[in-house]
Amino acid sequence: MNMNEQMKESEESILHTYNRFPVVFEKGQGCYLYDSEGKEYLDFAAGIAVNSLGYHYPGYDEALKDQIDKLMHISNLYYNEPIIEAGAKLVKASKMSKAFFTNSGTEAIEGALKAAKKYAYVRDGHADHEIIAMNHSFHGRSIGALSVTGTAHYREPFEPLMGGVKFADFNDLESVKAQITDKTCAIITEVVQGEGGIYPAKKEFLEGLRQICDEKDIMLIFDEIQCGMGRTGHYFAWQAYGVQPDIMTSAKALGCGVPVGAFVLNEKAAKASLEPGDHGTTYGGNPFVCAAVSKVFDIYENDKIIEHVQEMTPYLEQKLDEIVAKHECAATRRGMGFMQGIVIQGRPVGEVVKAALAKGLLVISAGSDVLRIVPPLVITKEHIDKMAAILDECME
Ligand SMILES: *Cc1c(COP(=O)(O)O)cnc(C)c1O
């Protein structure tokens, strides 16, 4: 079958919820992907910020294969070895207290919301608490996660969603204050908005949220699903700001390709929220995915992945800034570390993405007009040069 036939066959059985790009990928190596007709693509999308180690990173596959040979799944009714290691490493990297592993980012959000609601319930015995979320946020597609996602067209067809959610403007502390009531139990925000268009939080904003939450005993939830796991040059983006959440969510690059997420609680949240019987998952944190998480942390530490992001960021930013300076359609750049966006004007961002694909470069869009650059964290200067050269052509 050629690629066109494969795509046609896919559409016959797979529900059409994505307008997919016309390419079937077969394998990857390093920071490159190969389609089923053998064409090579430089990958600056990383499976939407998942494949932070690229493809077949030394030691990663072996760790997973070893675990397959030992044990794939038992149940959370029993202890297993990989979850013990993965949990300790996640708690250490985040300097938080307790982790709960999930199968996805969305489920991590669900757990975080439940923990915050339970914390408030334990405190005052009421069951009518409210959550403040941000406009243009993205937290996932389940009913709970969708309820705190600040894009109306994602939510509308599925109303009524979870009640008690109010929206404020990201980076606008006064708009958050205006939504606070005696019932507010949580404020949830990304530290760098991803799907919304690559908007980093302002320091004063996060500090202000922390202060409000401290004063009113509200749980501060940071969604680190996209911006976490080293992408900004820190394990978690909030560490760049020195503002700690009470609850944090992680996923995407947490397992660098296996379906795994987590919500992580500080001591205060862990002590007085979810208890046995309150929450559970069949697959979440099974030996297979936790072997991946554990190995990912080892690789990050031993191979200094985060230090590499810090070292390479100025070069990536410089190359992107040169493109912005040169091309009329590239209005501005914003971002942190290896999570960068270029605002495209005067032509659809999708056109640039498609042109790049045709020339063998994978980039994606975010929001309505932003070109999103979220490469594997292991890219080198040569990869950056090649990306910049292709983007330069695409912007002509
Ligand atoms: C991708 C994403 C999610 C949802 O994660 P899934 O694994 O797709 O469920 C939630 N929050 C943010 C910030 C994300 O980028």
The answer, yes or no, to whether any atom of ligand 1 lies below 6 A from the CB of 223, is yes
pLDDT-based confidence at 122, cuts 50/70/90? very high
> Which pair of structure tokens corresponds to residue 339?
């999570």
The answer, yes or no, to whether any atom of ligand 1 lies below 6 A from the CB of 254, is no
Closest ligand 1 atom to 223 CA:
13
pLDDT-based confidence at 371, cuts 50/70/90? very high
pTM: 0.98
Closest ligand 1 atom to 226 CA:
15
Q: How far is the CA of 125 from the centre of ligand 1 (A)?
A: 31
Q: What is the mean pLDDT of residues 59-77?
A: 98
pLDDT-based confidence at 114, cuts 50/70/90? very high
- What average pLDDT does the chain have? 98
Q: What are phi and psi of 49, to 5 degrees?
A: 65, 25
* Cα 73 from chain centroid (whole Å): 25
Residues in contact with 238: Cβ distance below 8 Å, sequence separation at least 6, in sequence order:
191, 206, 222, 224, 244, 245, 248
For residue 92, the model assigns a pLDDT of: 98
* Cα 168 from chain centroid (whole Å): 21
Which of 144, 115, 124, 126 lies closest to 219 in space, CA to CA? 115
Q: What is the mean pLDDT of residues 281-288?
A: 98
Distances, alpha carbon 82 to alpha carbons 184, 193, 257, 293, 348, in Å: 37, 31, 16, 9, 45
Please tell me the residue having the least CA distance from ligand 1 atom 5: 105
pLDDT for 237-271, tens place per residue?
999 999 999 999 999 999 999 999 999 999 999 99
The answer, yes or no, to whether any atom of ligand 1 lies below 6 A from the CB of 376, is no
The answer, yes or no, to whether any atom of ligand 1 lies below 6 A from the CB of 105, is yes
CATH architecture of 71-302: 3-Layer(aba) Sandwich (3.40)
pLDDT-based confidence at 354, cuts 50/70/90? very high
For residue 145, the model assigns a pLDDT of: 98
Q: How far is the CA of 171 from the centre of ligand 1 (A)?
A: 20
Please tell me the residue having the least CA distance from ligand 1 atom 7: 105
282 is in an annotated binding site: yes
Q: Give me the residue spans of the domains in the chain.
A: 3-57+304-395, 71-302
For residue 13, the model assigns a pLDDT of: 97
Distances, alpha carbon 32 to alpha carbons 212, 344, 381, 391, in Å: 45, 25, 15, 16
Strand 98-102 and strand 219-223: pairing? unpaired
Q: What is the mean pLDDT of residues 210-229?
A: 98
CATH topology of domain 3-57+304-395: Aspartate Aminotransferase, domain 1 (3.90.1150)
For residue 196, the model assigns a pLDDT of: 97
pLDDT-based confidence at 57, cuts 50/70/90? very high
